[in-house]
Chain A
Amino acid sequence: MQIYLPIAELSVNLFFLVGIGGAVGFLSGLFGVGGGFLLTPLLIFSGVPASVAVASVTGQVVAASTSGALSHYRRGGIDLHLAMYLVLSGILGAVGGVAVFAMLRDAGQLDLVISVGFLVLLGSVGVLMLVESTRSLLKARKGIVVRERLPNQHNWIHGLPMRVRFKKSRLYISVLPVLGIGLFIGFVGSLLGIGGGFIMVPALVYLLRVPGSMVIGTSLAQVVAMMAATTMLHAVQSQSVDIMLAFCLMVGGTVGAQFGASAGKYLRGEQLRGLLALLVLAVAIRFGLSLVLTPSDVFSMAVQGIRQ
């Protein structure tokens, strides 16, 4: 069954859209990430213009993260104070990201920046996660008990000025790294059409030492708020949010995420992180190859300017 997408101006099979939404939703529920880093490339590959894909996936990430964020909120797993700092700086970063996005699109370098951005980000995060999870898997096999949290281990970040107390996370740290993380993720997220959960979680754990019970919920709350703002920005600035496309992906995504979350209960934390690392690395390698390998067609075309 074909469905016409009014902004992308083409017809796509409805079951295909709901299907990829569901598959990516399953993975995002399984690993607790938004899934934008998988969905955006998949849509571009299936013929949706890159600008429409990036803008519409931000809408889908909002939906995919909402149910998770709500259930964490009910369990008290969100540090709203910390999330607020992250969101405010994130929105600032997103404003910059959306502006750069429009500039790059007109200069013809958007594809390059998206490829390099995915390669660098996913590559580094993937390698770090793989090393960390392999290490803890090996330790677990040897029977060494790994301490979940290292509360007394401070690093240079804890020496910065402008300290603020985050009661729920039991942290008393400088706001500068918090704002920096928010700004960076806002910028990168709006530029690449990703929620940034897979950068946010390690940043909160390793840089800020946010306790494990707060990490996922706070990260999800931040993703919901920031991606909602990014959707608005894309809608106003590039007018390339396709609500039909976003809705089809949302329906698949929310259903898939529920199954993913139940499937996740059968796997251990280190195993999940290891699998996610492999997935992230695979996407990174795919982007790397597209930069290095001879393209099948050295010519490409695009329509310039806002349509209509």
Chain B
Amino acid sequence: MRRFCAIAAVLLALVLPAQAERLVSQLSNDSVEITSSFDGERMTFFGSIAPDAGSPDKFVTGPFQVVITIVGPTQVRVAREKTHNFGVWLNTEQVQFKDFPSYFHVLSSARLTDISDITTLTTNAILPESHTLTANDTDWWKTAVFGRELVRLMTEQGLFGVQENGVNFLSDNFYSARLTLPSNAPPGAYLAQTYVFKNGEIIARKSEGFSVRKIGFERFLALSAVQQPLLYGLICVILALFTGWLGGVVFRR
């Protein structure tokens, strides 16, 4: 039994030579609160690469590269294309992307193509385009074209982005990264995935969640609009009638 364990340990050490490092990381805040004056929030990600618990090594040897992806809640998005028909521009083609992230940002310590190869980046959903590769009703060519345009449109809105100098190493194994969530960041559950690369391979990864949510009055309004739509509508109308009446009274001579 003892011999078997020893062999197993040796085998494991052979199979997983790269797992000698682990990632210790932390988020600056685990919830972002949307108040009436919300105009975005700055977040900090930091962590260090340390020797693994059972590892005999006292130090880790780099160079390491760190990539952090931040994924927001998913939605059903459509991308549409206008074409010129009979002298008028019309939306004629559309492709639907189910489970498309409403927010996606990548922070990395170097150029992504220098860190690893395209296959690794795509299979781990590190490239923005990898989110458009989900199955849908149309052929893959249209999916690819519309997917690329959708990523571009999301980038123009600040909802998608790649910052290839977003992660800074403060020492050989300690990094920090900054992200500014825009004011149009959709509320919901977010997932931050941190990957540590060494020689193009992922040697450690960790995921942390945080939530963006409306609090106080904003939360109350958004909830009542959905849960009590009739009452909400009635209050809107009463507010409008009252404001109109008040305006008339205040300015009457």
Residue contact B91 to A228, C-beta cutoff 8 Å: no
A175 to chain B, nearest CB (A): 27
Task: Specify which of B81, B149, B219, B236 is in contact with A241 (CB 8 Å cutoff).
Answer: B236
Residue contact A308 to B226, C-beta cutoff 8 Å: yes
Q: Mark A4-22, 1 if CB is under 8 A from B, else 0.
A: 1011011100000000000
Task: Specify which of B82, B214, B235, B239 is in contact with A298 (CB 8 Å cutoff).
Answer: B82
B57, CB-defined interface residue at 8 Å: no
Residue contact A66 to B241, C-beta cutoff 8 Å: yes
Complex: how many Å from CA A17 to CA B80? 29
Complex: how many Å from CA A288 to CA B203? 58
B221, CB-defined interface residue at 8 Å: yes
Q: Mark A47-79, 1 if CB is under 8 A from B, else 0.
A: 000000000000110111111101100000000
Chain A residues near B234 (CB-CB < 8 A): 232
B29, CB-defined interface residue at 8 Å: no
B125 to chain A, nearest CB (A): 20
Task: Specify which of B81, B230, B248 is in contact with A67 (CB 8 Å cutoff).
Answer: B248
Residue contact B233 to A63, C-beta cutoff 8 Å: no
Main secondary structure of the interface of A (DSSP, over half): helix
Residue contact B240 to A70, C-beta cutoff 8 Å: no
Task: Specify which of A10, A62, A235, A307 is in contact with B244 (CB 8 Å cutoff).
Answer: A62
Residue contact A108 to B80, C-beta cutoff 8 Å: yes
Which stretch in B111-119, B169-177, B180-188 binds the other chain?
Answer: B180-188
Residue contact A2 to B183, C-beta cutoff 8 Å: yes
B35, CB-defined interface residue at 8 Å: yes
Q: Mark A277-308, 1 if CB is under 8 A from B, else 0.
A: 00000000000000111110111111111011
Which stretch in B1-9, B12-20, B70-78, B192-200 binds the other chain?
Answer: B70-78
Residue contact A62 to B237, C-beta cutoff 8 Å: yes
Residue contact A301 to B184, C-beta cutoff 8 Å: no
B83, CB-defined interface residue at 8 Å: yes
Residue contact B39 to A2, C-beta cutoff 8 Å: yes
Task: Specify which of A67, A231, A239, A251 is in contact with B225 (CB 8 Å cutoff).
Answer: A239
Task: Specify which of B88, B150, B226, B239 is in contact with A239 (CB 8 Å cutoff).
Answer: B226
Supposing A10-B183, A67-B247, A298-B81 touch, asked if A232 and B237 sit within 8 A by C-beta, the answer is: yes
Which stretch in A88-96, A143-151, A191-199, A254-262 binds the other chain?
Answer: A254-262
Residue contact A243 to B244, C-beta cutoff 8 Å: no
Interface size class, chain A? 35 or more
Chain A residues near B89 (CB-CB < 8 A): 291-295, 298
Chain B residues near A244 (CB-CB < 8 A): 36, 221
B158 to chain A, nearest CB (A): 11
Residue contact B78 to A4, C-beta cutoff 8 Å: no
Residue contact B34 to A4, C-beta cutoff 8 Å: yes
A217 to chain B, nearest CB (A): 14
Within 8 A of A (CB), among B190-249: 214, 218-219, 221-222, 225-226, 229-230, 232-237, 239-241, 243-248
Residue contact A300 to B82, C-beta cutoff 8 Å: yes
Residue contact A70 to B248, C-beta cutoff 8 Å: yes
Q: Mark B61-103, 1 if CB is under 8 A from A, else 0.
A: 0000000000000011111111110011111001010000010
Supposing A7-B221, A66-B240, A232-B230 touch, asked if A302 and B245 sit within 8 A by C-beta, the answer is: no
Closest B residue to A306 by CB, please name it: B226
Residue contact A298 to B83, C-beta cutoff 8 Å: yes
Chain A residues near B232 (CB-CB < 8 A): 235, 241, 243
Residue contact A66 to B78, C-beta cutoff 8 Å: no
Residue contact A239 to B236, C-beta cutoff 8 Å: no
Supposing A4-B183, A112-B90, A299-B80 touch, asked if A246 and B236 sit within 8 A by C-beta, the answer is: yes
A56 to chain B, nearest CB (A): 9
Within 8 A of B (CB), among A223-244: 224, 228, 231-236, 239, 241, 243-244
Additional A-B contact list (15), CB under 8 Å, known A11-B183, A63-B243, A299-B79: A4-B38, A4-B39, A4-B183, A7-B221, A71-B252, A232-B236, A235-B233, A235-B236, A243-B235, A244-B36, A254-B246, A292-B87, A292-B89, A300-B80, A304-B77
- B interface residues (Cβ-Cβ under 8 A, vs A): 34-40, 75-84, 87-91, 94, 96, 102, 146, 149-150, 152-154, 183-184, 186-187, 214, 218-219, 221-222, 225-226, 229-230, 232-237, 239-241, 243-248, 251-252
- 28 residue pairs of the A-B complex, CB under 8 angstroms, read A1-B37, A3-B37, A6-B219, A10-B184, A66-B240, A66-B247, A67-B251, A70-B244, A228-B240, A231-B233, A231-B236, A232-B233, A235-B236, A236-B233, A243-B239, A244-B36, A244-B221, A254-B244, A255-B251, A298-B81, A299-B79, A301-B78, A301-B80, A301-B154, A302-B78, A302-B80, A303-B77, A304-B77
Closest A-B pairs by Cβ, 3 of them: A66-B244, A235-B233, A254-B247
